[in-house]
């Protein structure tokens, strides 16, 4: 979902981290399940002591066995998983009911501190803490935080971030329905209703448990016995049953969800052929290979050992995925995408922004190191996938285009042509091109001339008569005729955009269809651009009798590209305009108050001047330069020519050449004025 919204780079990176979040969460639940087993059935167990062995590697063995059991259930398929979770839900709800009844029914008593708490016990003499039953004084005493050392984590001091990281890991299943959308009959209805009802039910259960625990158990008991519920329940076995089944169910859910995310990454070709074995390893719709890979990675995470460390890492990774989800919703809302129509009545960009900032802040609160590393890893994945992922060519649509459109439209409206000033003038060029095959050097050179301004490549497709005629005959013939009479600019635009990419020029493309070139040119000059970004300079090629050179098909050409076949950009066998029409076109441009440039002999231009050791110049021949007092069109022309020459000389490639101004002999002036521009001086000679 994120890939289809933010693009494959963000979607692939966030999806990868979300996959690892599911893996870590599964390992966390398995570790919690095994911890409950050892606390209840270990050497000092509550229910049946000495039934199983205790220790780090014994715990790792139990985790491995439980992980294998999860693997077997997931290999059978989602149907088996669904049946298992329904049974577990009923069992857990029953255990919760017994626990709530115990809080209300049981009176004050002493609850033993486990021997595993080495801070208070020596393993032989039991130590007890108070369970007070429902009392307002107990709730008052527990109202404010009282952080102490964690006896299961080498006596590390518990902080707010530790508590939040552990608690948040219990509510990370909000995406479970979305992860299994492929197995749902009606995901559009089941996911929102199921997710919201699950969140609401979980919130009420957690709130009720928090209030009842705070009103019945002393802080001393809560800090030194993490399985105190066993000593409180009217049926102690219900606590063990609920703990083991709930954690096992969550572990199963995360393995299933993680395998589906991995399968989606493989299907979307995010990492190319590296994940091809995932797509091939599917049997009857069940991603067997993805399930196996997920189980293997869970096994590696189990080597961490510490439950709280796994919980914090798990929370940070899930928060990062939720941050991306909020970012996607915020971006779609800000972009004003018409197809983004959320049905949730309370959604707005405010809620998305609050969710985004909240997840980011809590990531830093839980663990600045984990949060920084995960964000850095996400950014590295974004860069890697942007550069190397085959999926970047996928036609999914990227939110970046919608956001760019939104911002460009807004700022285009702020541009006011009435506020233009000569100090900030720059060329906004419309280059009219007959066939780009013969104009590649000119197109490349004008890209240097634009100096950050607008650059438009214009082309007129001459087609006499109506562009689309009403077809005659039967329906089949009508369909063929309609397809044949499609506007030619529809298909040609793609070729022109490919040409822009090939030449690496920063230009827009404008194509039009007209009865003749002159009419089409008038359309382009009047309509090219948008708002205040419209061409102020029109450039035409020179009308001569030279034979055209095909730069796209000639092997020695620097612009050679075999992808452009000969039928693309065909070279016209005869001139498309007559000399009279050419002169009329120049007059049309001047009457539209546009600057006019005529370009000739650019087929002979060689841009590679680095290896040339002799001096090279950019010669400018202004008209009527020695009579600046006369305000006429020639003075404007001279200034315009000098301006263009200076702009070209600013380009790094052409800055190696020296700017030289040469004057034509005219009037009573006998000689030539020559100005050589140097980095720190100007040499003027007259002869």
466: CB partners within 8 A, 6+ apart: none
In the predicted model, what is the mean pLDDT of residues 87-109? 89
Q: Mean per-residue pLDDT for 62-88?
A: 82
Torsion of CA 553, 559, 565, 570, to 10 degrees: -80
In terms of Cα–Cα distance, which of 205, 254, 243 is closest to 18? 254
* 68 vs 3: which has the higher pLDDT: 68
Span 170-175, mean pLDDT?
77
Q: Tell me: pLDDT of 299 over 70.
A: yes
Q: Is-contact 15 265, C-beta < 8 A?
A: yes
DSSP structure string for 100-154 = HHHHHH---EEEEEPTT-TTT--SSS-EEEEE--S-HHHHHHTSS----EETTTT
Query: Residues 6 or more apart from 588 whose CB is under 8 A from it?
Result: 518, 521, 522, 525
* Residue 328 · residue 320 · CB < 8 Å: no
Domains identified in the chain and CATH numbers: 2-393 (1.20.1740.10), 421-467+478-607 (3.40.50.620), 609-687 (no CATH)
- Is residue 638 within 8 Å of 597, Cβ to Cβ? no
What are the DSSP E strand ranges found in 284-373?
A: 286-287
Instruction: Compare 433 and 331 and report the one with higher pLDDT.
Output: 433
Closest alpha carbon to 248 in 468, 27, 491 = 27
Mean pLDDT of 310-325: 84
150, 165 contact by CB (below 8 A) = no
Are 301 and 23 in contact, with CB atoms under 8 Å apart?
yes
Query: Looking at the predicted structure, is the pLDDT value of residue 679 above 60?
Result: no
Pairing assessment for the beta strands 673-677 and 658-662 based on DSSP bridges = antiparallel
pLDDT of residue 481 exceeding 70 = no
Max mean pLDDT range (121-130, 310-319, 473-482, 581-590): 581-590
Band (417; pLDDT cuts 50, 70, 90):
confident
Q: What is the mean pLDDT of residues 47-63?
A: 85
Rounded distance, CA 270 to CA 12, Å? Answer: 6
Structure tokens at 120: 């208070």
Q: What is the pLDDT of residue 397?
A: 67
Measured CA to CA, the distance from residue 6 to residue 514 in angstroms comes to 40
The residue-averaged pLDDT of 85-92 equals 84
For the chain, the residue count is 687
Q: How far apart are CA 321 and CA 315, in angstroms?
A: 10
38/116 Cα distance (integer angstroms): 10
Which residue in this structure is represented by tokens 């990370």? 172
Contact 222, 228 (CB under 8 A): yes
> Is the pLDDT score of 553 beyond 50?
yes
3-state secondary structure string, 510-550? EEEEECCHHHHHHHHHHHCCECCECCCEEEEECCCCCCCCC
Q: Among 326, 301, 315, 370, which residue's Cα sits nearest to residue 170?
A: 315
Structure tokens at 244: 């083991």
Radius of gyration over every alpha carbon of the chain, rounded to an integer in angstroms: 37
> Rounded to an integer, what is the distance from CA 183 to the centroid of its chain?
27
Mind listing the pLDDT tens digit for each residue in 358-416?
999 999 988 899 899 988 988 888 888 877 777 666 666 667 777 788 888 888 888 88
CB atoms within 10 A of CB 610: 7
Phi-psi region of 123 (alpha: psi -120 to 50; beta: other; left: phi over 0): left
Residue 653 exposure: Cα atoms within 13 Å on the Cβ side? 10
Comparing 671 with 306, the larger pLDDT belongs to 306
- What is the arithmetic mean of pLDDT over 587-607? 90
Of 596, 499, 617, 496, nearest in space to 542 by CA: 596
pTM score, whole prediction: 0.68
pLDDT at position 675: 47
Query: What is the average per-residue pLDDT within 245-260?
Result: 87
Question: What pLDDT was estimated at residue 312?
Answer: 79
Residue 341 has pLDDT above 50, yes or no: yes
Those residues whose C-beta lies under 8 Å from the C-beta of residue 641, and which sit 6 or more positions away, are 620, 621, 622
Write the pLDDT tens digit of every residue in 487-502: 888 888 999 999 999 9
Q: Among 192-201, 339-348, 460-469, 640-649, where is mean pLDDT lowest?
A: 460-469
Q: Which residues of 160-174 are buried (b: 16+ CB within 10 A; e: fewer)?
A: ebbebbbebbbebbe
* pLDDT score of 569: 85
Which uninterrupted H or E stretch holds 658?
Answer: strand 658-662
Q: How do residues 636-666 score in pLDDT, each as one tens digit?
A: 788 888 889 999 988 888 888 888 888 766 5
Quick one: average pLDDT of 149-164? Answer: 80
Rounded to a whole number of angstroms, the distance between the first and last alpha carbons of the chain is 74
Burial profile 295-331: b = 16 or more Cβ within 10 angstroms, e = fewer: bebbbebbeeeebbbbbbbbbbbbbbbbbbbbbbbbb
Confidence of residue 65 (pLDDT cuts 50, 70, 90): very high
Q: Which pLDDT score, from 0 to 100, does residue 469 have?
A: 46
The b-or-e profile of 456-494 (16+ CB within 10 A means b, else e) is: bbbbbeeeeeeeeeebeeeeeeeeeeeeeeeeebeebee
Instruction: Examine the pLDDT at 588 and tell me if it is beyond 70.
Output: yes
The answer on pLDDT for 6 being more than 70 is no
Res 87: pLDDT: 83
pLDDT score recorded for residue 471: 47
Give pLDDT, residue 627: 60
SS3 content of the chain, % helix, strand, coil (to 5): 60, 10, 30
Over residues 109-118, mean pLDDT = 83
Rounded distance between C-alpha atoms, residue 509 and residue 512, angstroms: 10
Where does the pLDDT of residue 174 fall: very low under 50, low under 70, confident under 90, or very high at 90 and above?
confident
Q: Are 228 and 40 in contact (CB under 8 A)?
A: no
Highest mean pLDDT among 122-136, 303-317, 382-396, 515-529 belongs to 515-529
Span 155-180, average pLDDT: 78
Distance CA 319, CA 622 (A): 66
CB 644 within 8 A of CB 451: no
Tokens 């635009």 label which residue?
493
Question: Do 2 and 325 touch, CB atoms closer than 8 A?
Answer: yes
Question: Mean pLDDT across the stretch 506-517?
Answer: 93
pLDDT at 252 over 90: no
The predicted model gives 57-73 an average pLDDT of 90
Residue 87 near residue 248 (C-beta atoms within 8 A): no
| CA–CA dist 230, 99 (Å, integer) | 9
Mean pLDDT of 96-123: 85
Give the Cα separation of 298 and 288 in Å (integer): 15
Query: CA-CA distance, 439 to 446, in Å (whole number)?
Result: 11
Over range 504-516, report the average pLDDT: 93
Q: Across-strand partners of 89?
A: none
Name, in order, each residue with C-beta under 8 angstroms of 587's C-beta and a sequence gap of 6 or more. Answer: none
Q: Which two tokens stand for residue 626?
A: 């020695």
Residue 631, Cα to own-chain centre: how many angstroms?
Answer: 56
């Amino acid at each position: 979902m994120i890939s289809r919204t933010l693009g494959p780079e963000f979607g692939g990176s966030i999806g990868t981290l979300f996959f690892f979040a599911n893996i870590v969460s599964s390992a966390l639940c398995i570790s919690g399940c095994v911890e409950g087993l050892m606390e209840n059935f270990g050497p000092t167990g509550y229910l049946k002591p000495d039934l199983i062995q205790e220790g780090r590697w014994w715990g790792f063995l139990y985790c491995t066995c439980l992980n294998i059991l999860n693997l077997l259930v997931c290999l059978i398929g989602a149907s088996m998983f669904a049946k298992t979770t329904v049974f577990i839900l009923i069992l857990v709800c029953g255990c919760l009911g017994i626990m709530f009844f115990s809080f209300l029914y049981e009176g004050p008593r002493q609850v033993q501190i486990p021997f595993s708490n080495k801070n208070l016990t020596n393993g032989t003499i039991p130590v007890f803490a108070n369970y007070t039953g429902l009392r307002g004084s107990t709730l008052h005493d527990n109202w404010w935080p009282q952080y102490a050392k964690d006896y299961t984590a080498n006596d590390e001091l518990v902080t707010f971030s530790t508590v939040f990281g552990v608690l948040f890991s219990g509510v990370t299943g909000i995406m479970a329905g979305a992860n299994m959308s492929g197995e749902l009959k009606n995901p559009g209805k089941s996911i929102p209703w199921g997710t919201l009802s699950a969140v609401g039910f979980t919130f009420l259960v957690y709130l009720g448990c928090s209030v009842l625990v705070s009103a019945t158990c002393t802080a001393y008991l809560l800090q030194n016995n993490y399985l105190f519920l066993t000593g409180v329940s009217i049926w102690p076995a219900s606590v063990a049953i609920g703990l083991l089944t709930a954690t096992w169910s969550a572990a199963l859910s995360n393995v299933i969800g993680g395998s589906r995310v991995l399968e989606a990454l493989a299907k979307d070709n995010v990492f190319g052929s590296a994940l091809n074995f995932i797509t091939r390893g599917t049997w009857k719709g069940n991603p067997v290979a993805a399930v196996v890979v997920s189980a293997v990675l869970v096994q590696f995470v189990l080597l961490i050992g510490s439950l709280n460390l796994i919980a914090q890492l798990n929370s940070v990774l899930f928060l990062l995925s939720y941050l991306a989800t909020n970012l996607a919703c915020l971006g779609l809302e800000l972009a004003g995408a018409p197809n983004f129509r959320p049905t949730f009545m309370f959604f707005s960009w405010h809620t998305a922004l609050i969710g985004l900032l909240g997840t980011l802040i809590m990531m830093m609160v839980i663990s600045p190191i984990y949060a920084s590393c995960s964000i850095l890893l996400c950014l590295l994945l974004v860069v890697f996938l942007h550069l190397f992922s085959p999926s970047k060519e996928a036609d999914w649509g990227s939110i970046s285009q919608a956001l760019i459109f939104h911002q460009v439209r807004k700022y285009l409206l702020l541009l006011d042509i009435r506020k233009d000033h000569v100090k900030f003038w720059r060329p906004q060029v419309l280059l009219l091109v007959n066939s780009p095959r013969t104009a590649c050097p000119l197109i490349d050179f004008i890209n240097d001339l634009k100096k950050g301004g607008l650059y438009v490549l214009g082309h007129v497709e001459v087609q006499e008569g109506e562009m689309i005629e009403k077809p005659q005959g039967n329906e089949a013939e009508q369909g063929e005729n309609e397809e044949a009479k499609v506007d030619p600019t529809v298909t040609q635009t793609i070729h022109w955009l490919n040409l822009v990419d090939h030449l690496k020029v920063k230009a827009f493309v404008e194509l039009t269809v007209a009865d003749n070139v002159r009419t089409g040119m008038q359309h382009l000059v009047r309509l090219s651009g948008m708002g205040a970004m419209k061409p102020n300079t029109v450039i035409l090629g020179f009308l001569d009798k030279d034979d055209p050179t095909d730069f796209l098909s000639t092997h020695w050409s620097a612009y050679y590209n075999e992808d452009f076949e000969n039928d693309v950009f065909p070279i016209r066998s005869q001139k498309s305009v007559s000399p009279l029409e050419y002169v009329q076109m120049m007059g049309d441009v001047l009457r539209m108050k546009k600057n006019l440039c005529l370009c000739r002999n650019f087929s002979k231009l060689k841009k590679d001047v680095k290896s040339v050791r002799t001096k090279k110049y950019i010669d400018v021949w202004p008209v009527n330069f020695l009579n600046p007092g006369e305000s006429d069109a020639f003075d404007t022309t001279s200034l315009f020519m000098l301006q263009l020459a200076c702009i070209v000389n600013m380009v790094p490639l052409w800055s190696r050449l020296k700017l030289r101004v040469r004057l034509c002999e005219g009037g009573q002036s006998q000689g030539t004025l020559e100005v050589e521009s140097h980095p720190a001086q100007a040499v003027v000679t007259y002869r």
